[in-house]
Structure 1
Amino acid sequence: MGFQINTNLAANNTYRNLNSTQNSLSSSLEKLSSGLRINRAADDAAGLAISEGLKSQVGGLTVAARNAQDGVSVVQTAEGGLTETQSILQRMRDLAVQAGNDSNNDDSRKAISTEVSSLTDELTRISSSTNFNGINLLDGSAGGGSGKLAFQVGANGDAASQITVDLSGANVKSIATTLASGTTATGGTSFTVDTTAVTSGTATFSSVKGGVTTSVTTGTLSGTGTGGSFKSVDEYATALTNDASFSSKFAVTVEKDANGAGTGIVVTAKDGGAVDTTAPAAAGLGTGSAAPSTVGIKFDTAAHAQAAITAIDAQITAVSTARAGIGAVQNRFNHAINVTNVAQENLTAAQSRITDTDMAQEMVKYTRANILSQAGTAMLAQANQSTQGVLSLLR
């Protein structure tokens, strides 16, 4: 190799290596200062794509856990209102039982009616005041009137990431309306039953709806008395209910007197049609008439008080069912929160393994690059001095 000054290969080679070392040193400093192994796509393109997906999942799960907590708060708020609703209904039932006793005079029954009316007003107030973030929960308006509220408890946009809370059965406003002005006795057609004359045989019932007549003839109805006769109205009603032809189109309930003894039956058409009042083709059944119905709950007579007990029992059962459903969904929310937190923890760990810097390992690389940088700088200075010998040739 000749003695040259225009091209200093040693200096160029040293500069190239020094430049590479400086890049490594700069990269190590960036990773050590940020704590991230991947600061740009060039660091690890595939790793960046995976880590960004994991970041989306972790962020979504963090918010989803808060959503589930909000869901718990909503159902707890709703149950608080239902708990008091049930207490009110229990008190109303106690009053109805009290009113069923004829030892009460008119003033006593009026006092009972006054308290029940006030309790009904309180049910209405509860239905309109039980709300979460301005959303009424117990008046049937939740979810745009459907009574269903959806909660996003997952990070994705699929059905598995949502839990739906159904509050349609927790409509306290409807309960108050039913008790104040609804029908508490079964409508339909009432037939008196003379058990001494009802014997084994068939019976035909008809109803009319929209100009269409529906007729059903039962099979042979038979009681447990002599010759297949019926011992009670209840036994006759049971025989009708057990007949497949009858029960497919009609329903039957028993009318009772003040002593609880059956006096007749009330037949209703399941399609809502008007049941023919003409006596069916069965001995012992008189001509039918419109079944009496009680509007709202009244306590002016023992019979009305009994009807009120039945009506209140139905509402207590409805509230109990709604509370059971709310309790179940609250437990579901709690499990969803636990699952979400575990998933968030595991995904965060996975993201960390991809993106976070191993500080000890990176410090080793930084120390190496730093030493090489200093050595390279010194060698570049030596390489630049290596051609100084040419000057001795020029003297």
Structure 2
Amino acid sequence: MLSLHTNAAALSTQNSLGASQRALSTSMTRLGTGFRVNSAMDDAAGLQIATRLDAQTRGQAVAMRNTQNGISMLQTAEGALNEVSNILLRMKDLATESASGSSTTKDRDAMQAEYDALGGELNNIMNNTSFGGSKLLVGGTMAAAVTFQIGASSSEKMTVDISADFTQAGTDLTAVSAKYTAPGGAAGTEINAASANGAIDKVNTALDTIGKIRAGMGAAANRLDHVYNNLQNVSTNAAQARGRIMDVDYATETSNMTTKQMLMQAGSSMLKQSNSMSGLVMSLLQ
């Protein structure tokens, strides 16, 4: 029907042109940002899923750093205790040598002086070893239960508790050398003629306790290493899943944009043609 008031063809073409324009704008936005989902309007459900995946991967990234920091802390403490073991082994050598009847009083005095110096260093290592500005051993972080956050959720925690062994280590080291508790005190008598044989057993006991602590730290560090590997795997796959939701497929979206551009051009041409149809009414009136 020819009408001056209502141009049905023009209205229909305008609607189609508007739809093509909106679709073209969406494609250009996606190509410009690199994201398929730029607002909830693009994919409401997908955005919700992607947000949860993003929260998971971000939390896991922090947890991965936590595990590496935890391993570093444990290795620092274990390295200090390794030196404690070395000192105790030297102290055992001195006690064993002193216990022999071939050692003279002067020999034992020289050995005791070295023994005392080693006892003072035990005090220094156990009381002053630190990580990140905080003490690690006696009165420090590892002397109590330590909890590591190893995942993105509040339930993913790992607790390392070797505090009882640290308490026992303090008792054993005190028995080994008076210089452990009082580095500036009087010379010790642990490896004189009467006590040297007993000192051997005391050092052995301390070595066993220190070895137990080191084993616990090593086991915890190994577990944290496995935690890191698992987090890396889960995080990688979660990031890929989020990418499939959020990231734009440039090949597909470029094709879509080209199609919408062609539709825009065709729609503009047809709108021009439909607007000229009203002119036919005048030809009927001539």
Do both share a fold (TM > 0.5)?
A: yes
Structure 2: distance between partners of 1:313 and 1:337: 36
| From 241, 249, 257, the counterpart of 1:350 | 241
Deviation, structure 1 residue 105: 2.9
Uncovered stretches (5+) of structure 2, i.e. residues with no partner: 180-187
Pick the structure with more strand per residue.
Answer: 1
Match of 2:159 in 1: 164
CA contact (8 A) 1:67 1:152 kept: yes
Deviation, structure 1 residue 391: 4.1
Q: SS where residue 163 of structure 1 aligns? A: strand
Give deviations 1:127-146, integer Å, cap 9, x for gaps: 23321101211213216x52
| From 148, 152, 173, the counterpart of 1:151 | 148
Structure 2: distance between partners of 1:173 and 1:30: 66
Deviation, structure 1 residue 300: 2.2
Q: Percent identity?
A: 38
Instruction: Output the amino acid matched with 1:349.
Output: Q
Match of 2:190 in 1: 298
* Residue 369, structure 1, aligned to residue 260, structure 2: yes
Higher relative contact order (CA 8 A, sep 6+): 2
| From 329, 333, 339, the counterpart of 2:220 | 329
CA contact (8 A) 2:92 2:200 kept: yes
Q: Superposition pairs for residues 280-295 of structure 1, below 5 Å?
A: none
Give deviations 1:146-184, integer Å, cap 9, x for gaps: 2x22221211110xx2222335335666554343349xx
Taking structure 1 as reference, are residues 297 and 78 closer, same or farther at Cα in structure 2, changes over 3 Å only?
farther
TM-score w.r.t. structure 1 length?
A: 0.66
Give deviations 1:294-349, integer Å, cap 9, x for gaps: xx8612224x1121111111000011111111111121111111111110111111
Structure 2: distance between partners of 1:56 and 1:174: 47
Q: SS where residue 102 of structure 1 aligns? A: coil
Structure 2: distance between partners of 1:74 and 1:317: 22
CA contact (8 A) 2:176 2:190 kept: no
Q: SS where residue 378 of structure 1 aligns? A: helix
Match of 2:182 in 1: none
Match of 1:42 in 2: 41
Instruction: Output the amino acid matched with 1:77.
Output: T
Cα root mean square deviation, aligned: 2.1
Q: SS where residue 41 of structure 2 aligns? A: helix
Uncovered stretches (5+) of structure 1, i.e. residues with no partner: 183-295
Give deviations 1:201-225, integer Å, cap 9, x for gaps: xxxxxxxxxxxxxxxxxxxxxxxxx
Structure 2: distance between partners of 1:12 and 1:84: 87
CA contact (8 A) 2:27 2:256 kept: yes
Q: Superposition pairs for residues 302-321 of structure 1, below 5 Å?
A: 302=194, 304-321=195-212
Instruction: Output the amino acid matched with 1:137.
Output: L
TM-score w.r.t. structure 2 length?
A: 0.89
* Residue 177, structure 1, aligned to residue 69, structure 2: no
Taking structure 1 as reference, are residues 178 and 134 closer, same or farther at Cα in structure 2, changes over 3 Å only?
farther
Deviation, structure 1 residue 362: 1.7
Match of 2:62 in 1: 63
Match of 1:86 in 2: 85
Structure 1: distance between partners of 2:208 and 2:242: 50
